[in-house]
Amino acid sequence: MAVGRSTKLVLFDIDGTLLSIAERELNVFGLALERVFGTAGSIEAYSFAGKTDHQIAFELLSGAGRAASQIELGLPDLKDCYLEMLDEMLDTSGMAVLPGVIELLDQLAKDSSVVLGLQTGNWEAAAEKKLARFGLARYFVVGAFGDGQLDRNTLPPLARDRAEQRVGGRISSSHTVIVGDTALDIACARTWHMASVGVATGSTSQLELRSAGADLVVPTLADLDAGRLLGLTSRKPS
Ligand SMILES: [Mg+2]
């Protein structure tokens, strides 16, 4: 793998970006909250888009009057309960790899200057289950996950640090691209001066992704090739 200024890091979100969003997953998360905490709070009116699993649990439960210490205490059980139900959900929900994902990952994986990573609000164990189930795990060498993270904005530097350790060299913000389906993915990239691609295969429209400041917006990842994606890395000053 090439090291130094030429190394490029591409960080993918999972839900709505690599895999279709399954309505049933939200139900599974709610069911796990009810089993462990006795309530899922105002889950019907809550938007999961772009948030970390940790944040979702905290926001829903504190909204239902649970104290932070009580939430912390129940989190390991919540995670176990959710992961147990996730297997069954993945087999039956109709969740699928989104159009163009495999083709794009194959192209990027062939480029020795590219490090492929994840920046996802999923707990790491949930991300692993999802990617393994759909044969995508092999593409990604680093990642930053939702465990312990209340804000998605903390994820990109974590992923980059891990990528730098992996390649043994610095990777600049201007050589990093975030690919995601929500305005929060785009906000992450902007916070860290990274390039961003918004893909409208989740719950956010192309217009909203453009308004959020994405450098490039595509209807699906089938509308993007590796050359166009990596071209974004040279547009921003280092
Ligand atoms: Mg997403």
* CA 23 vs CA 27, 129, 176, 181: distances in Å: 7, 17, 31, 16
Domains and CATH numbers, the chain: 8-21+97-234 (3.40.50.1000), 23-92 (1.10.150.240)
Q: How far is the CA of 218 from the centre of ligand 1 (A)?
A: 15
pLDDT at 131: 96
Measured CA to CA, the distance from residue 56 to residue 140 in angstroms comes to: 25
Q: How far is the CA of 7 from the centre of ligand 1 (A)?
A: 25
Q: How far is the CA of 110 from the centre of ligand 1 (A)?
A: 25
Q: Is beta strand 195-199 parallel, antiparallel or unpaired with respect to 8-12?
A: unpaired
What single letter denotes the amino acid at residue 27? N
Q: How far is the CA of 16 from the centre of ligand 1 (A)?
A: 5
Q: How far is the CA of 54 from the centre of ligand 1 (A)?
A: 15
pLDDT in tens, the chain (238 residues): 544 448 999 999 999 999 998 888 888 999 999 999 999 999 999 988 889 999 999 999 999 999 999 999 999 999 999 999 998 888 888 899 999 999 999 999 999 999 999 999 999 999 999 999 999 999 999 999 999 899 999 999 999 999 999 999 999 999 999 999 999 999 999 999 999 999 999 989 999 999 999 999 999 999 999 999 999 987 655 4
Measured CA to CA, the distance from residue 1 to residue 24 in angstroms comes to: 40
Q: How far is the CA of 178 from the centre of ligand 1 (A)?
A: 11
Q: How far is the CA of 75 from the centre of ligand 1 (A)?
A: 22
Q: How far is the CA of 159 from the centre of ligand 1 (A)?
A: 16
Structure tokens at 143: 């990642």
Q: How far is the CA of 55 from the centre of ligand 1 (A)?
A: 14
pTM here is: 0.93
Measured CA to CA, the distance from residue 200 to residue 104 in angstroms comes to: 16
Measured CA to CA, the distance from residue 197 to residue 217 in angstroms comes to: 6
DSSP state of 13: -
Q: How far is the CA of 22 from the centre of ligand 1 (A)?
A: 11
Q: How far is the CA of 185 from the centre of ligand 1 (A)?
A: 8
Q: Is beta strand 142-144 parallel, antiparallel or unpaired with respect to 176-180?
A: unpaired
